[in-house]
Amino acid sequence: MATSKNDLLTYASSFRMSKGSEQARKGNPMFIKELKLKNYRNYDVMTIPFDDKINVIIGENAQGKTNLMEAIYVLAFTKSHRTSKDKELIQWDQEYATIEGIIEKRKQTFPLHIQLSTKGKKAKLNHLEQRRLSDYIGALNVVMFAPEDLTLVKGSPQVRRRFIDMEIGQIQPIYIYHLGQYLKILKQRNHLLKQLQRNKTNDQALLEVMTEQLIEHAAIIVEKRFRFLKLLRTLAIPIHKGISRGLETLYIRYQATIDVEEEDDRTKIAQVYQEAFKKHLQKEIERGTTLLGPHRDDLVFFVNEKDVQTYGSQGQQRTTALSIKLAEIDLIYNEVGDYPVLLLDDVLSELDDYRQSHLLDTIEGKVQTFVSTTSVDGIHHHTLNKAEIFTVDKGKIKHAKRG
């Protein structure tokens, strides 16, 4: 039975239980009981219930498998992992699209609702519209593993920054607030630097104020990234060692644009930023852009002390990406007390049999999982024999088999 609006504050508190909370650690598995889509991508109207263990979505390319996975991702994060333009999620001849989910978490059921329109987006938690997205994000935790995630290691720094930002945002929604403020001030500061570069202003006092504001949020962001990376590394290293049969050792390092260490607190990080910005002031004005900050930081992955991006084989790069994704699952559980929903979007076919088996063995019975694929014929694992099977054709989903 759905909960009343008066219970919202109780839920909001329980969603963000601290790591040490025994009540959180004994929480029941979280899962999506039902998903509703309207005017979303190639889905006109769809309502479908899901199994709380594993759901396999089968269909040819361009039929709607990835759109369904994306909809679940948007329900969790309020934004797509494929595009930054919300209008692309709305059917071309419609004014809005909606995604609704019935979530069960710690034996309590509640609805989530996202409406996307040309006027913006609305996010509702338990029927109540949330003024800030950071008050909504974290109600549903999701880990997605798609083919593009295999480029986490060899892709651009932007890919890795997006990864770390989205994952921290799930377990500490306040991080989204600080990141949003940082990016807003960064845009204003870059505009001012352009004006200084072109001699259209000489307002150094305003630049100093903006720099102080930028540093305030930058220090918090970097401190939280350091903490997240430390937790992720602790979980990913043994997973990676297991997948590599004990032959390889993984290490992940945060590469900042300033000289800071993982042990530094935000006060020390802020001090280093202040000194660095003073040193680079003239260079920033000459270039008309901000040269320091978390928007330019990166992650570096090492296997047996060698940079995987530069020297690693494709197999090592994929093992690293898989280890990180599996570590995310336990990290979220350790931090919020609930296992996330796992989305495997057309990724099993990209992994060899050994990595497939390791992935499916790890998640079996632990998390609600959605697997999209063109066929299960080449995937041999007993987990899939228990799965609910759905077929997708031209934006229509049918329940094909009960596991």
Which tens digit of pLDDT belongs to each residue from 26-76? 456 799 999 999 999 999 999 999 999 999 999 999 999 999 999 999 999
Q: Is 123 annotated as a binding residue?
A: no
Residue 10 lies in a domain: yes
Q: Is 60 annotated as a binding residue?
A: yes
C-alpha 22/C-alpha 25 separation (Å) is 5
Residue 46's pLDDT is what? Answer: 95
Answer for the pair 70, 129: CB distance below 8 angstroms, yes or no: no
Residue 382's pLDDT is what? Answer: 85
Q: Is 63 annotated as a binding residue?
A: yes
- Map residue 101 onto helix, strand or coil: strand
Task: Among 305, 320, 337, give the residue marking a domain's end.
Answer: 337
| Whether residues 179 and 308 fall in one domain | yes
| Whether residues 26 and 105 fall in one domain | yes
Say which amino acid occupies 207: L
- The count of structural domains within the chain is 2
Q: Assign residue 286 the CATH number of its domain.
A: 1.20.1050.90
C-alpha 325/C-alpha 247 separation (Å) is 20
| Whether residues 127 and 29 fall in one domain | yes
> H or E segment at 391?
strand 388-393
Answer for the pair 393, 63: CB distance below 8 angstroms, yes or no: yes
Q: Is 286 annotated as a binding residue?
A: no
| Whether residues 294 and 161 fall in one domain | yes
Task: Among 317, 337, 357, give the residue marking a domain's end.
Answer: 337
Per-block mean pLDDT, blocks of 10 residues, the chain (403 long): 37 38 52 97 95 93 94 96 92 95 93 94 95 90 90 92 94 93 98 95 94 98 98 97 95 97 97 98 97 98 96 93 94 94 93 90 91 87 88 91 62
Which tens digit of pLDDT belongs to each residue from 86-105? 999 999 999 999 999 999 99
Tokens representing 135 are 């008050």
Q: Is 337 annotated as a binding residue?
A: no
Q: Is 255 annotated as a binding residue?
A: no
Residue 168 lies in a domain: yes
| Whether residues 329 and 349 fall in one domain | no
Say which amino acid occupies 31: F
Q: Assign residue 13 the CATH number of its domain.
A: 3.40.50.300
Residue 212, domain extent: 155-337
* Packed helices 204-243 and 266-279: angle between N→C axes, nearest 10 degrees: 120
Residue 184 lies in a domain: yes
- Map residue 215 onto helix, strand or coil: helix
Residue 146 lies in a domain: no
Task: Among 337, 367, 384, give the residue marking a domain's end.
Answer: 337
Residue 255 lies in a domain: yes
Residue 25's pLDDT is what? Answer: 43
pTM over 0.85? The answer is yes
| Whether residues 372 and 394 fall in one domain | yes
Residue 150 lies in a domain: no
> H or E segment at 287?
helix 281-287
Positive or negative CA dihedral for 187, 192, 194, 197? negative
Residue 368 lies in a domain: yes
